[in-house]
Amino acid sequence: MELREPKDLDRDLCPIVSAISEIGDKWILLILRESFIGARRFDEFQENLQVSKSVLSNKLNKMLELELLQKVSYKNPGERTRHEYRLTRKGKDLGKVIISLLNWGNTYLLEEGKETIVITDTAEFKPVGLELVNSKGDKLKLRDTAIKVGRLK
Amino acid sequence: MELREPKDLDRDLCPIVSAISEIGDKWILLILRESFIGARRFDEFQENLQVSKSVLSNKLNKMLELELLQKVSYKNPGERTRHEYRLTRKGKDLGKVIISLLNWGNTYLLEEGKETIVITDTAEFKPVGLELVNSKGDKLKLRDTAIKVGRLK
DNA sequence: CTGTATCCTCTTGGATACTG
DNA sequence: CAGTATCCAAGAGGATACAG
């Protein structure tokens, strides 16, 4: 892989821009949060997010298009067939984005002594963090990183 | 620290919401990206982002208020005094958010064979990743995590 | 319950002109 | 160069009504 300095990067083609244009939207981020917490039905999202139905409808459809969510049909005995919105692999892989946002919010935006959401491990239920690792899996600090431009694979 | 299930979380007070309301904005995220790449002056941001001056002015002021950026005066010999926008600690700590967005974008949104931004280590200049770690520093998988509600410290 | 369509308002962003 | 002020157009979001 060949790398160079980002002086003359074509910024419109940067994947951060693409990522932001897909999920850099308040409602989409909030729907993702609800999905990670476990919401799956239209009215669950609406109830939890206090959003109008038209906006919710638009955003859910957009997220289906982007393949962040998929619509899955299911049927409970005695009920009619329903469908629910589940995270796709692409959507689940936003977990680290959500966690990084959450951890930053807990550090800088949380009022002292207030309750908050925490992501924990399932062994001891203590908060988990995110660490930078190099290609060998060793941890490193942000200051030991560089921004480059290149072609992956 | 006492933790419970997130069933009855007051979602308006969730730090993900606070985080999103501070930085869940296309322009703010893009200004952050430029700052991480190294931009500091008004016209650098404007040139690189192709944004109107009025919007840029508004967003920069908002970011000063939020203390994501700080305005620093400096003077080169023979020039008049200038000032530049630098990331604060709070702003720099968004590094992991930006990197998680970038890595996700490189995985799911990048066209094959196309150039992109990559964050590398400074030793071998190979791409870095983000790993979940528990309180002891051991790595773990997303599926070995849980979402809880509680009071930190 | 799970949506879509319509209307109406408020906000966002671009263009332009102006200032130190 | 480094912004601010003003005006205008387009889009986002809420409320409401309607449909399968």
pLDDT in tens, B8-20: 666 656 888 899 8
Question: Does residue A14 surpass a pLDDT of 90?
Answer: no
- The alpha helices in chain B, defined as continuous H runs, are 15-23, 26-37, 42-49, 53-65, 89-92, 95-108
pLDDT reported for residue B12 = 58
Beta partners for residue A87, in sequence order: A69
Closest C1' nucleotide to B46's CA? D2
Which strands make up the sheet holding B145-151, listed edge to edge?
Answer: A115-121, B145-151, B3-4
Average pLDDT over residues B112-126: 93
Phi-psi domain of B63 (left: phi exceeds 0; alpha: psi -120 through 50; beta: other):
alpha
B23-60 pLDDT, tens digit each: 988 899 999 999 999 999 999 999 999 999 999 999 99
Closest C1' nucleotide to A40's CA? C2
Question: pTM, whole model, 2 decimals?
Answer: 0.93
A20 CA – C11 C1', rounded, Å: 20
Q: Is the CB of B44 under 7 A from strand C?
A: no
- B118/A22 CB distance under 8 A: no
A40-65 pLDDT, tens digit each: 999 999 999 999 999 999 999 999 99
Question: Residue B149 is nearest to which of A16, A112, A115, comparing CB atoms?
Answer: A115
- The identity of residue B135, as a single letter, is S
Q: How far is CA A116 from the centre of its chain?
A: 18
Q: In this complex, which residue's CA is closest to the C1' atom of nucleotide C12?
A: B55
B111 CA – D17 C1', rounded, Å: 44
Distance from C-alpha of A146 to C-alpha of B123, rounded to nearest angstrom: 10
A46 CA – D14 C1', rounded, Å: 13
Instruction: Estimate the crossing angle of helix B26-37 against helix B95-108, to 10 degrees.
Output: 100
Chains A & B: contacts with CB separation below 8 Å: 275
- A129/B128 CB distance under 8 A: no
Instruction: Give the other-Cβ count within 10 Å of B86's Cβ.
Output: 14
- B129/A128 CB distance under 8 A: no
B55-104 pLDDT, tens digit each: 999 999 999 999 999 999 988 777 778 899 999 999 999 999 999 999 99
Pair of tokens at residue A13 = 């083609």
